[in-house]
Amino acid sequence: MPDPKVQGEPIRLKDSSSISVSLTPVFGISIPVIIRTGTSDTQVNLTDISLQAPENAPAHLNMVVRRSGNHSVYGDINIDYVSEKARSPLLQV
């Protein structure tokens, strides 16, 4: 809890005929620590992947991320979209 007295501030008499609110932020920091034991059999699968790209609207990528196993997972998913119009004939697979 912060010290309610501010250093160097003169003591003020309180007016009992009004109400006031004073907010004092209290800051902290936490560092998550994950300890895992044993062999991991965790797997992550992306399923039901579909792209909805209407003609005059932003495209939407839909997918389901499924995790199985005995540990949690985290990470990043990077998606690069190249339209058919921008694709070079040399790059087609």
Name the residue among 68, 66, 71, 67 with its Cα closest to residue 34.
71
Q: What total number of domains does the chain contain?
A: 1
Q: Is residue 37 included in any domain, yes or no?
A: no
Q: Is residue 65 included in any domain, yes or no?
A: yes
Q: Is residue 52 included in any domain, yes or no?
A: yes
Q: Is residue 78 included in any domain, yes or no?
A: yes
Residue type, 59: A
Ramachandran area for residue 68 (φ above 0: left; ψ -120 to 50: alpha; else beta): beta
- pTM of the predicted protein model: 0.47
Quote the domain boundaries for residue 86.
Answer: 43-91
Q: Is residue 30 included in any domain, yes or no?
A: no
Q: Is residue 38 included in any domain, yes or no?
A: no
Compute the C-alpha angle 50/54/58, nearest 5°: 85
Could you report the per-residue pLDDT of 13-70, keeping only the tens digit for each?
777 778 877 777 888 899 988 888 889 899 999 999 998 888 888 888 899 999 999 9
Q: Is residue 87 included in any domain, yes or no?
A: yes
